Amino acid sequence: MSKRKRIIVIGGSAAGPKAAAKARRIDNDAEVIILQKEADLSMASCGYPYYVGGYFNDRNMLLCTPAGVVRSPMFYLNAKDIDARVNTEVTDIDRKKHTISFKNLASGETGSLNYDKLIIATGAVPRMPPVPGTDLEGITTLQSMKDADFLRKIRDEGKIKKAVVIGGGLIGIETCEALQLAGIEITVIELLPQLLTFLDMEMAKLVENHVRSKGANVITENGIAAFLGEEGKLTAVKLQNGIELPCKLAVLAIGVQPNVKLAKEAGLKIGELGGVDVNEFMQTSDPDIYAVGDCVETLNRITGKKVHAPYGDLANLQGRVAGENAASQNCVTFPGTIQTGICKVFDYAAGSTGLSETTAKRLEYPDIITVINASPDKPGFMEGKLLVTKLIADKKTGQVLGAQCIGPGNVSKQIAQWAMAIQGKLTVEDLVNADLPYAPPFSLAIDHFIATVHIMQNKMKGRMKGISCKEVRDKLLAGEKPFLIDTRGPEEFEEMRLGIGETLIPLGALRKRMKELPEDKNKEIICFCKISLRGYEAALALEGNGWEDVKVMEGGIMAWPYPREK
């Protein structure tokens, strides 16, 4: 009888169990072992903020299969014939002997196991600010089940009234919402000029405005100088500008870094970004060792450069690839990521895929074009909700490079469509007649996605001269005085307006009021309305009557992220 192949997986969060399960499905005879340092297995870590926020109350739901069975060591043994050991830390990898050493953190027992194939899924560790006081009681991250339990206990007890969230990224914003829902007064601190850096500035400002509208305080361009405390307990957070914010709870959410200690000590190649270097098979520099999840660097499919992309879905996909390859041969590949993500922001969502304009410019893409579209996700009579999308494309080829979408509408659907367009290397012209499902309960007859493409096509063909809200504001701050036309009706104008020197000329009256426009046909004119559909119609009318420099403010008032009069 031939010796059974032994596949050992280090790490039991997302990527590790997926790799183990796939290895078992491919090779029914292999001996598959998971060694997990924590007490729990296969935790839905992306669900931690929602458990803290009270969206569900049963902690076990973070550990369950879709059928509601807790993924315990007994579950893995009985259902999958996988030996899953919790509270077991791997302390060493001996590549020459093909062994790992481990320690049981509950009993203190130590031992070693040989392997034929090894899969490293050690995840990531939270970044900590290099400031005094990080060891005070009341400071936490939201990286583990232990952290989630701690914050959920605070929520349920209701004793803490003020908290500070340090970091305005995905976890920071989700934690802000979770604690705000618990009645805790929240201040979000972000060192950079904006929240959610996967968005461009004007989109991020709209999200910031929404966070503020929900009662949270947001401070940008300011960092932490120190955590202050008394008798070992947190009492305040001191900012770099000297301001002190009294609080008894601070959540650190300034990002994560790959946990590569074991891999590094074993002599495996580490990439420039600090993650384990792997090839398309998820194979490390040692052919018998694979690595997956948040501890690795992966390829950006658009730029061809390595990135660190700690996303739960990617971890599962990578685990699936590594598990199959470890159990058979290198027969499947992971092609990389376009870095698609989405974040719940109270009753908004914010998502992106591909390159932002900021990233494209930083990478010196030679010729990009962008457009912003604001429109509902479905008809008003079906209670349509607003979406604001920014599309980034290659100006010469029309290939879609990236998209961002925010708002209370169905953001996830939009981002999913853009992600597939990018992965398929589709162009604007490929998408203008996209055949998408339509019925009023689900979308407009011309879906927001297709409308965005139509606007981009008009802009690329010179049929519309678009200008972003940011560019309009920059002009005004620089002392320029374009002629601004708000093409809405008087009632709309009284209810909500920018107050930036605009003239109200409703679209229906525009042709009768041409004499009120600048006599100089070369004068810059900028038209807009609530979402700039009427602004576009007005621009066409003005161009048809001889004005040469007429622009449409993309997205209209709904995309304006700056202070306004009403």
Tokens of 404: 């961002």
Q: In whole angstroms, what is the distance from residue 87 CA to residue 93 CA?
A: 18
Q: In whole angstroms, what is the distance from residue 59 CA to residue 152 CA?
A: 10
Q: Which of 116, 112, 119 is nearest to 18 (CA)?
A: 119
Q: What are the DSSP calls for 112-123, one per residue?
A: EEE-SEEEE---
Report the 10 Å Cβ neighbour count for 280.
15
Residue given tokens 């999958």 in the structure block: 80
SS3 label, residue 109: coil
Tokens of 140: 């936490």
Q: In whole angstroms, what is the distance from residue 302 CA to residue 169 CA?
A: 23
H or E segment and range at residue 19: helix 15-26
Bin 118: left if φ > 0, else alpha if -120 < ψ < 50, else beta: beta
Tell me the angle at which helices 312-327 and 15-26 cross, rounded to the nearest 10 degrees: 30
Length of the chain: 566
Q: In whole angstroms, what is the distance from residue 145 CA to residue 150 CA?
A: 9
| Widest CA span in the chain | 96
Tokens of 219: 């401070």
Tokens of 147: 């952290």
Alpha-carbon distance values, 439 to 65, 337, 387, 410 (Å)? 33, 32, 18, 14
Alpha-carbon distance values, 84 to 38, 41, 60 (Å)? 12, 8, 18
SS3 label, residue 60: helix
The beta strand positions in 5-81, using DSSP E, are 6-10, 31-35
Q: In whole angstroms, what is the distance from residue 556 CA to residue 533 CA?
A: 8
Q: Which of 374, 555, 552, 557 is nearest to 465 (CA)?
A: 552
Query: How many helices and strands (H and E) does the chain possess?
Result: 15, 30
Tokens of 554: 């993309």
Q: Which of 392, 395, 451, 466 is nearest to 422 (CA)?
A: 392
Three-state helix/strand/coil letters over 311-346: CHHHHHHHHHHHHHHHHCCCCCCCCCECCCEEEEEC
Tell me the pLDDT tens digit for each residue of 336-348: 999 999 999 999 9
Tokens of 476: 């005004």
Structural Rg of the chain based on CA atoms: 27
Q: Are 327 and 365 in contact (CB under 8 A)?
A: no
Give strand pairing partners of 251: 140, 165
Q: Are 120 and 263 in contact (CB under 8 A)?
A: yes
In this prediction, the residues of the chain whose per-residue pLDDT falls under 50 are 1
Q: Which domains does the chain have, with CATH numbers?
A: 6-124+257-327 (3.50.50.60), 139-254 (3.50.50.60), 347-460 (3.30.390.30), 466-559 (3.40.250.10)
SS3 label, residue 517: coil
Q: pTM of the predicted model, to two decimals?
A: 0.95
